[in-house]
Structure 1
Amino acid sequence: MITINQIKDRKARQPKKKRVTLLTGYPQKKGFCIRVYETKPKKPNSAIRKVAKVSIKLKNKRRNVIAYIPGFGPHNLQQLSTVLIRGGRAPDLPGVKYRMVRKHYDFQIGERYPRKNRRSKFSVKNEKVAAKKGKAIKIG
């Protein structure tokens, strides 16, 4: 509910500023890894998370961002690996606002177990369809 003082226009309401990210105007961007390392999350959580510092090109300059490396187990990323970056932060890692897209460019990582749900996000084939076609699915 608006108050009388707000109506008086002493302090006019300011429109909310839009949050600007480096991906504004792009769904994904291509970049290359500057540094691949492991870090620990904030206080209540405990783990070793894999992240990478990635350089992406924006119009006429390069920007460095920290991107989360999703998935189980080991990955094949190293310095100067080409990756695809999308939005999506890691809530318990400060400064990590981007994620890497798996199965693109140099980020090739296989699943450790057969997925039933959310397969397209992880680029995993449907095992029922593959079995009908007579193709064996390699796990691991």
Structure 2
Amino acid sequence: MNPPASKVAVFLHSGDYDRVHQGLAIAASAVASGRRVEVYLFWWALERFLQGRLDAPDFHPPREDVADRFETRRIPTLRELLEHLAESGLCSIQGCTGSLGALGAEQSTEGAPIDGWVGWSAILQRTAGVVDRFYL
């Protein structure tokens, strides 16, 4: 009998497309292997989700060569990765209430692809003992 797979925690702070993509790709790899994942959104990553900027790669500084490669190689967008994560039933996307307040974006939460809202006390409890943590 195999022991249950450990949980993975992904902390997304940066809103840069490449960092958010990397974090969601890590989460997708984990759920593909049957592991539970919790993704926590802070500051600029949270802002990207609230603004719905999940479809077209927007690199800064601009990298048309990389953006073109994303399209020609059919690399999934942030939205497609999120859909995969939701369909798996193994991933939860959580927004930080402190970051939400700091951004002044409380009115922007409707329709955002976020499963719940948590503060640091809950985050610390939920991730206690989690060995696989990724900070981007």
Considering only CA atoms, is the larger Rg found in Structure 1 or Structure 2?
Answer: 1
| Interval of TM-score (by shorter of Structure 1 and Structure 2) | under 0.3
What is the TM-score with the length of structure 2 in the denominator? 0.23
What is the TM-score with the length of structure 1 in the denominator? 0.22
